[in-house]
Amino acid sequence: MTIIAKGFPVSQRPQAAALYWEAFGGKLGTVLGPDNRALRFIAATLRPDHCFTATDAEGRLLGIAGFKSPEGAFVGGSSAEMRAVYGRIGAAWRSAALWMLSHEVDNHRFLVDGIAVTRAARGRGIGTALLEALCAEGRARGYASIRLEVIDSNWRARALYERQGFLPVRTEPLGPLRHVFGFAAATTMVRPL
């Protein structure tokens, strides 16, 4: 039995950070690494009010799906939080790189801020259930559509999004930043709500 709920208890913060890093460390590793610092930063900045979680009957975290809103993002963090983990200089270049990657809030479409499912739980419909929770949240907030980005090397996620009715609307090459983030392009996908 899988339970989908909004947010997560404080006790699951380290597991939520580890799951997020497992899913997105490949593209963010150069910027947020090394692993110990990345996990410390992510754990400190996760916003439980901006996510849904999937847990099993024993309360183990199986998946997590974040979203952005005008009030913030699932994983964001302030300049002070970035400096506390990376120092003044480390925070400055990391903040600039992350800003170039993603710095917008779409006021017309509900924005997904990452979906991750543990390796052991993949293929069991958890990603689909988390997507449906995000869609319901978007509808409840009055949005007509939901939007996400998927990187060119994540074919498994793209296939899931397409099965769930998301359509590609544009693909943007990363240009020179591909060397920093490890992927060449990101496709924006949208689904009506």
- Provide the whole-model pTM: 0.91
Q: What average pLDDT score do residues 169-181 get?
A: 82
CATH number of this structure's domain 2-192:
3.40.630.30
- DSSP for the chain, written as a single string: -EEEEES--GGGHHHHHHHHHHHHHHHHHHHH-SHHHHHHHHHHHB-GGGEEEEEETT--EEEEEEEEBTTB-SB---HHHHHHHHHHHHHHHHHHHHHHH-----SSSEEEEEEEE-GGGTTSSHHHHHHHHHHHHHHHTT-SEEEEEEETT-HHHHHHHHHTT-EEEEEEE-GGGHHHHS-SEEEEEEEE-
pLDDT tens digit sequence for 127-149: 999 999 999 999 999 999 999 99
pLDDT band at 103 (very low <50, low <70, confident <90, very high): low
Q: Which of 90-94, 115-119, 156-160, 174-178 has the highest mean pLDDT?
A: 115-119
pLDDT tens digit sequence for 30-73: 889 999 999 999 999 999 999 999 999 999 999 999 999 988 89
Q: For the chain, give every domain's residue range.
A: 2-192
pLDDT tens digit sequence for 21-31: 999 998 888 88
